[in-house]
Structure 1
Amino acid sequence: MSQDDSPLVELQCEAHTYPDGTVGMHDVDFSVYPNEVVALVGGNGAGKSTLLEHLNATLVPDVGELVVDDTPITEDNKSYARKEVGFVFQDADTQLVAPTVLDDVMFGLQNYGVPSDEAKERAREALATVDASHLEDRIPHYLSGGEKRLVGLAGVLVLEPSVVVLDEPLAGLDPERSQLVADRIEQVHQEGISVVLSTHDLDFAATVADRVCVMADGNVIGNGTPREVFYDDALLAEANLHAPSTVRIARDTGLGEKAQPVTESELVRHLTAAVEDVNSNQVSSVDTTQTNQ
């Protein structure tokens, strides 16, 4: 992402209040830029899902504006926002409605008037993109949680959005299926689609995100690179968050002040280098002793 790029999505929300009077979000200014992965982190009730649902006009601000690809979104063109900003819900069952997986992925295209043969071909391509071609004849209701997430993602990708939004994509998944979904998210990003996701898994956020936005009490209280955010103790404390395990280990081993690794691979690299440095110093010390003798 270049700071000179124009945002794909711009949301200004002075307030969003739910019908029961709960304030879901306030004073939020949030943008999504080309070719980036943005992770929203924060505690339960921080406003993450509320913000995400504003990005494709599932929810609209009481006061504010959503602009998608330089187009202000109104009641008359919400469908444009929903095509450009694809949304994969945490509860995948809410968007799996057809009798088979292939029918489900075709559904959005058919709503836009795409002929059946073309819709079927594009749906199969989308399923192949997320390595889910083998599921096309399955009944969505009987899929595993991870499989449902992949099918939901395919149903979004088939519309060729510029941004994909995922609400807690790893929630309820075991480690193997979490890794599968995480890999598909990275694959989508590598194909040039921006990704916005919410997560309680800060290790996952540190690994996948280019930018991390911290939410608390319905507002974005800080954002930056994973390194900037996850080594900011005051910011994490304000949001009642604990640093990712990599950051905690780095600090316990003395790497936190200088190297500041945020991913497991970075931590391993720095620890390996530190061990090699210690071993090298020990060898040099032995050689010096033997020379003096």
Structure 2
Amino acid sequence: MAVRIENLTYTYPNHRRGLVDVSLHIKKGRKTAVLGVNGSGKSTLLYHLNGTLVPQRGTVQVLGTPVTAKTLREIRRQVGFLFDYPDHQLFSTTVYQDIKFGLDNYGYPETEKQDRILQVARQLDIEHLLDYPPFQLSLGQKKRVAIAGIMVLEPSIIACDEPFAGLDGYSAVYFKDLLDTWVRQGKTIVFSTHDVDLTYAWADDVIILREGRVLQAGPVGEVLTRREVYAEAGLIKPMLLDLFEDWDVKPKNITDAKQYLSRRR
């Protein structure tokens, strides 16, 4: 299991309850969506996965290691975190220095740092940007740089807060393909979203939150086909699921739907 959470409760300094008695698990090597309306606790949950927030009550275990103040260094090496807006995590004078920051913190030799940076930069097609200031880049390029800073440390889990926010169609498809590649390599992806259609078409598992509590959790095909979940969570049924509600199949994406309809001609 990638993540185990038991009875996790978190209250912010303004007394707002971020999470209330949350218990769940996240499987290795899968894409898990944390789904809910604004203010449901999605980001708060993700912040606990890499120790940005430490449990006030309850426990969080990542790959068998409890998240505590003493384990943060190892936890953050295992869990890369991608913020919703990359400006929140880009701050160096060049792209190269930004990607190098995590490697500096963990004391890698200079030759290995350079090798890792160049390898990831080639993979993400940003090698030509290494000498650029990050603030001069487009949003899509900034996202690639932020991900590069995560991937040079080779984490086992990648937590993404609204990973497709603000991206154009091409960039969104690029990042989905990239994350799919990492899942095939055995990595675990956990991402927050309010997009039910994206969750239905792309995620393997889903955790639905409402006001800091878990309403439903499990495989997407099981959870999102339960009619009662939408009114309870304040969500709208995925378009494809709505269109095929009375059919004997439930295609998850447009490609599956087209293939099914073509066979019925």
Normalized against structure 1, the TM-score is what? 0.86
**1:232-285 deviations in whole A, cap 9, x for unaligned?**
12012211111222212223xx42xx20122222211222122x2xxxxxxxxx
Matching residue of 1:260: 250
Matching residue of 2:41: 47
Q: 1:131 aligns with which of 116, 125, 128?
A: 125
1:230 offset after TM fit, Å? Answer: 2.2
1:111 offset after TM fit, Å? Answer: 0.9
Higher RCO (CA < 8 A, seq sep 6+): 2
The amino acid across from 2:220 in the alignment is: P
Contact 2:207 2:217 in 1 (8 A): yes
Matching residue of 1:57: 51
1:83 offset after TM fit, Å? Answer: 0.7
Query: Structure 1 residues 99 and 150 mapped into 2: Cα distance closer, same or farther (>3 Å)?
Result: same
Distance, in Å, in 2 between the alignment partners of 1:116 and 1:59 is 31
The amino acid across from 2:254 in the alignment is: E
The amino acid across from 1:243 in the alignment is: K
Relative to total residues, which structure has the larger helix share, 1 or 2? 1
Matching residue of 2:261: 271
Query: Structure 1 residues 90 and 249 mapped into 2: Cα distance closer, same or farther (>3 Å)?
Result: same
Matching residue of 2:79: 85
Contact 2:10 2:20 in 1 (8 A): yes
Q: 2:31 aligns with which of 28, 32, 37?
A: 37
The amino acid across from 1:46 in the alignment is: S
Contact 1:226 1:262 in 2 (8 A): no
**1:110-138 deviations in whole A, cap 9, x for unaligned?**
11111222112101212223333332222
Aligned 1:222-241 pairs, distance under 5 A: 222-241=216-235
Contact 2:9 2:56 in 1 (8 A): yes
Unpaired runs of at least 5, structure 2: none
1:191 offset after TM fit, Å? Answer: 1.8
Distance, in Å, in 1 between the alignment partners of 2:146 and 2:237 is 30
**1:144-167 deviations in whole A, cap 9, x for unaligned?**
112111211111111111100000
Distance, in Å, in 1 between the alignment partners of 2:256 and 2:223 is 16
Contact 1:16 1:23 in 2 (8 A): yes
The amino acid across from 1:48 in the alignment is: K
Aligned 1:1-293 pairs, distance under 5 A: 7-251=1-245, 254-255=246-247, 258-274=248-264, 276=265
Normalized against structure 2, the TM-score is what? 0.95
SS of match in other structure, 2:150 = helix
SS of match in other structure, 2:244 = helix
The amino acid across from 2:262 in the alignment is: T
The amino acid across from 2:258 in the alignment is: V
Distance, in Å, in 2 between the alignment partners of 1:262 and 1:97 is 39
Distance, in Å, in 2 between the alignment partners of 1:57 and 1:236 is 31
Root mean square deviation of aligned Cα:
1.5
Contact 1:230 1:262 in 2 (8 A): no
**1:55-102 deviations in whole A, cap 9, x for unaligned?**
111112210112222222321121111110110011211111211112
SS of match in other structure, 2:91 = coil
Task: Single out whichever of 208-217 and 46-55 deviates more from structure 2.
Answer: 208-217
Identity of aligned residues (%): 36
Contact 1:244 1:262 in 2 (8 A): no
1:220 offset after TM fit, Å? Answer: 1.5
Matching residue of 1:282: none
Unpaired runs of at least 5, structure 1: 1-6, 277-293
SS of match in other structure, 2:15 = coil
The amino acid across from 1:49 in the alignment is: S
